[in-house]
Structure 1
Amino acid sequence: MPSFEIGEQDFLLDGEPLQILSGALHYFRVHPDLWADRIRKARLMGLNTIETYVAWNFHSPERGVFDLSGQRDLGRFLDLVAAEGMHAIVRPGPYICAEWDNGGLPAWLLATPGVGVRTAEPTYLEAIAGYYDAVLPVVAARQVTRGGPVLAVQVENEYGAYGDDADYLRALVALVRERDIEVPLTTCDQANDEMLSRGGLPELHKMATFGSRSPERLATLRAHQPTGPLMCMEYWDGWFDSWGEQHHTTDPHAAADDLDALLSTGASVNLYMFHGGTNLGLTNGANDKGTYLPITTSYDYDAPLAEDGTPTAKYDAFRAVIARHAPVPAERPARRAPAPVLDVVVDQRLPLVDALPLLTEPKPFTYLPTTDELGHWSGLTLYRTQVEADDLALAIDEVRDRALVLLDGQPIGTLSRTEGLTTITLPRRAGRLDVILEDQGRVNYGPRIGEAKGLIGSARTATREVTRWDVGGLRLAPLADEALDRLRAAAPVTSSAAPVDGPVLSRGTFTTDPDADHFLRLDGWGKGLVWVNGTLLGRYWAAGPTHTMYVAAPLLRAGDNEIVVLELHGAARGVVSFVDAPDLGHTER
Structure 2
Amino acid sequence: MNDEPIQLISGAIHYFRIVPEYWEDRLRKLKACGFNCVETYIPWNLHEPKEGEFNFSGIADVEEFIRIAEKVGLYVIARPSPYICAEWEFGGLPSWLLADSNMRVRSHYEPYLEKVDNYYDVLLERFKPLLQTNGGPIIAMQIENEYGSYGNDKRYLTYIKEAMVKREIDVLLFTSDGPTDLMLQGGSVDNVLATVNFGSRPKESFAKLQEHFPNTPNIVMEYWNGWFDHWGEKHHQRDPQDAADTFAEMLQSGASVNFYMFHGGTNFGFYNGANFDENYQPTITSYDYDCPISETGDLTPKFHAVREAVAKHKDLGELVLPEPIPKKKYGTVKMKESNNLFEALNQISNLVKNTHPVSMEKLGQDYGFVLYRTFLKGPLDEAPLTIQDVRDRALVYVNQEFKGVIDRWENNKLMIEVPEEGIQLDLLVENMGRINYGPLLNDPKGITEGVRFERQFLFDWEIYSLPMDNLENLTFNENQLQPEENPIFYMGTFEVKEIGDTFVELAGWKKGIVLVNGFNIGRYWEIGPQKTLYIPGPLLKKGINEIVVFDMHGTKNPEIELIDTHKLG
The normalised TM-score by structure 2 is 0.96
Whole-angstrom CA distance in 1 between matches of 2:102 and 2:518: 38
Deviation at 1:422, TM superposition (A): 2.3
What residue is the counterpart of 1:390 in the other structure? Answer: 380
Deviation at 1:337, TM superposition (A): 5.5
- Please say which of residues 446-455 and 326-335 is displaced more in the overlay: 326-335
Whole-angstrom CA distance in 2 between matches of 1:248 and 1:110: 32
Amino acid at match of 1:571: T
- The answer (yes or no) to whether the contact 1:499–1:574 under 8 Å persists in 2 is no
What residue is the counterpart of 2:358 in the other structure? Answer: 369
Relative to structure 1, the CA distance from residue 414 to residue 329 in structure 2 (aligned partners, 3 Å threshold; closer, same or farther) is farther
What residue is the counterpart of 1:511 in the other structure? Answer: 495
Select 1:331's aligned residue among 315, 319, 324: 319
Whole-angstrom CA distance in 1 between matches of 2:363 and 2:183: 37
Select 1:276's aligned residue among 253, 264, 271: 264
Whole-angstrom CA distance in 2 between matches of 1:390 and 1:361: 31
Whole-angstrom CA distance in 2 between matches of 1:174 and 1:462: 53
Select 2:534's aligned residue among 531, 542, 550: 550
Hey, which bits of structure 1, 4+ residues long, moved more than 6 A?
none
Amino acid at match of 2:374: T
Q: What secondary structure is seen at the aligned counterpart in 2 of 1:28? A: helix
Whole-angstrom CA distance in 2 between matches of 1:78 and 1:329: 25
- The answer (yes or no) to whether the contact 1:22–1:270 under 8 Å persists in 2 is yes
2:156 maps to 1:164: no
* 1:392-435: CA deviation from partner (whole Å, max 9, x where unpaired): 34211221100111122221111111x23221122543221110
User: CA RMSD for the aligned pairs?
Assistant: 1.7
- Please say which of residues 322-331 and 534-543 is displaced more in the overlay: 322-331
Deviation at 1:391, TM superposition (A): 5.5
Select 2:190's aligned residue among 194, 202, 207: 202
**Residues 74-93 of structure 1 aligned to structure 2 (within 5 Å):** 74-93=62-81
Whole-angstrom CA distance in 2 between matches of 1:281 and 1:78: 23
* 1:51-71: CA deviation from partner (whole Å, max 9, x where unpaired): 000000011111111111111
What residue is the counterpart of 1:240 in the other structure? Answer: 228
Q: What secondary structure is seen at the aligned counterpart in 1 of 2:182? A: helix
2:437 maps to 1:445: yes
- Please say which of residues 153-162 and 107-116 is displaced more in the overlay: 107-116
Relative to structure 1, the CA distance from residue 80 to residue 335 in structure 2 (aligned partners, 3 Å threshold; closer, same or farther) is closer
What residue is the counterpart of 1:472 in the other structure? Answer: 464
**Residues 115-514 of structure 1 aligned to structure 2 (within 5 Å):** 115-333=103-321, 338-387=327-376, 388-390=378-380, 392=382, 393-417=384-408, 419-429=409-419, 430-462=422-454, 464-478=456-470, 480-483=471-474, 486-487=475-476, 490-493=477-480, 502-514=486-498
Deviation at 1:228, TM superposition (A): 3.2
Whole-angstrom CA distance in 1 between matches of 2:550 and 2:267: 18
Deviation at 1:335, TM superposition (A): 6.5
Select 2:56's aligned residue among 64, 68, 77: 68
Deviation at 1:328, TM superposition (A): 2.2
* 1:184-206: CA deviation from partner (whole Å, max 9, x where unpaired): 10000011122111110131111
- The answer (yes or no) to whether the contact 2:355–2:461 under 8 Å persists in 1 is yes
Amino acid at match of 1:520: V
Whole-angstrom CA distance in 2 between matches of 1:44 and 1:267: 21
Whole-angstrom CA distance in 2 between matches of 1:114 and 1:394: 29
Deviation at 1:389, TM superposition (A): 4.0
- The answer (yes or no) to whether the contact 2:286–2:530 under 8 Å persists in 1 is yes
- Please say which of residues 449-458 and 264-273 is displaced more in the overlay: 449-458
**Residues 26-45 of structure 1 aligned to structure 2 (within 5 Å):** 26-45=14-33
Select 1:561's aligned residue among 542, 545, 550: 545
Amino acid at match of 2:129: A
Structure 2: gaps spanning 5 or more residues: none
Deviation at 1:517, TM superposition (A): 0.5
* 1:342-383: CA deviation from partner (whole Å, max 9, x where unpaired): 111012010111111212122121122111111112110010
Q: What secondary structure is seen at the aligned counterpart in 1 of 2:250? A: helix
Amino acid at match of 1:230: N
Relative to structure 1, the CA distance from residue 517 to residue 329 in structure 2 (aligned partners, 3 Å threshold; closer, same or farther) is farther
Q: What secondary structure is seen at the aligned counterpart in 2 of 1:301? A: coil
Amino acid at match of 2:416: L
Q: What secondary structure is seen at the aligned counterpart in 2 of 1:570? A: coil
What residue is the counterpart of 2:3 in the other structure? Answer: 15
Matched residues, number: 564
Whole-angstrom CA distance in 2 between matches of 1:493 and 1:572: 12
Identity %: 40
* 1:95-140: CA deviation from partner (whole Å, max 9, x where unpaired): 0000000001111123324332101111111111111111112222
Deviation at 1:572, TM superposition (A): 3.8
Deviation at 1:492, TM superposition (A): 4.0
Amino acid at match of 2:218: L
- Please say which of residues 267-276 and 469-478 is displaced more in the overlay: 469-478
- Please say which of residues 565-574 and 329-338 is displaced more in the overlay: 329-338
2:569 maps to 1:578: no
Relative to structure 1, the CA distance from residue 402 to residue 253 in structure 2 (aligned partners, 3 Å threshold; closer, same or farther) is same
Amino acid at match of 1:416: D
Relative to structure 1, the CA distance from residue 59 to residue 279 in structure 2 (aligned partners, 3 Å threshold; closer, same or farther) is same
- Please say which of residues 305-314 and 138-147 is displaced more in the overlay: 138-147
- The answer (yes or no) to whether the contact 2:98–2:361 under 8 Å persists in 1 is no
- The answer (yes or no) to whether the contact 1:56–1:94 under 8 Å persists in 2 is yes
Amino acid at match of 2:39: E
Q: What secondary structure is seen at the aligned counterpart in 2 of 1:43? A: helix
- Please say which of residues 266-275 and 114-123 is displaced more in the overlay: 114-123
Structure 1: gaps spanning 5 or more residues: 1-12
Whole-angstrom CA distance in 1 between matches of 2:171 and 2:327: 44
- The answer (yes or no) to whether the contact 2:373–2:427 under 8 Å persists in 1 is yes
Deviation at 1:336, TM superposition (A): 7.2
Select 1:529's aligned residue among 513, 518, 530: 513
- Please say which of residues 353-362 and 456-465 is displaced more in the overlay: 456-465
Deviation at 1:77, TM superposition (A): 0.7
Relative to structure 1, the CA distance from residue 79 to residue 458 in structure 2 (aligned partners, 3 Å threshold; closer, same or farther) is same
Whole-angstrom CA distance in 1 between matches of 2:339 and 2:302: 45
* 1:226-257: CA deviation from partner (whole Å, max 9, x where unpaired): 12321100000110100111111111011111
Amino acid at match of 1:285: G
Amino acid at match of 1:426: I
- The answer (yes or no) to whether the contact 1:45–1:329 under 8 Å persists in 2 is no
Q: What secondary structure is seen at the aligned counterpart in 1 of 2:462? A: strand
Whole-angstrom CA distance in 2 between matches of 1:582 and 1:336: 14
- The answer (yes or no) to whether the contact 1:107–1:450 under 8 Å persists in 2 is no
Deviation at 1:290, TM superposition (A): 2.5
Amino acid at match of 2:394: A
Whole-angstrom CA distance in 2 between matches of 1:238 and 1:326: 24
Select 2:39's aligned residue among 51, 55, 65: 51
* 1:302-347: CA deviation from partner (whole Å, max 9, x where unpaired): 1110001111000111011011122324124366755325111012
